[in-house]
Structure 1
Amino acid sequence: MSLPSPADGGRPPVSLLISGVALIALGAVGFALVLAHRPARHR
């Protein structure tokens, strides 16, 4: 994975953006599942 070339316009590749969004979405879903399976009243 090299830096985007100046001819690319200076913006990151779309695949990198999609992978980042997918990673954040998976993290949010996993966090929600953990909160859902964990008992609500912790204290």
Structure 2
Amino acid sequence: YAAISGEAETRQTTTPKLYLPILKPSSQMSNIRLAKSKEWFNDCSD
């Protein structure tokens, strides 16, 4: 709903838990950043 009507009323920053089941538990990954490319989401025609 927030995507249709604009930003959500509460801008609370949260850190989601990252779950990558295909990786071995002994693998250590730190400082992972997730991003969204506007060009990728806006490249389709209506």
Same fold (TM over 0.5): no
Higher RCO (CA 8 Å, separation ≥ 6 residues): 1
TM range (shorter): under 0.3
State the TM-score, normalizing by the size of structure 1. Answer: 0.23
Larger radius of gyration: 1
**TM-score of the two chains, using structure 2 as the length reference:** 0.23
Higher helix share: 1
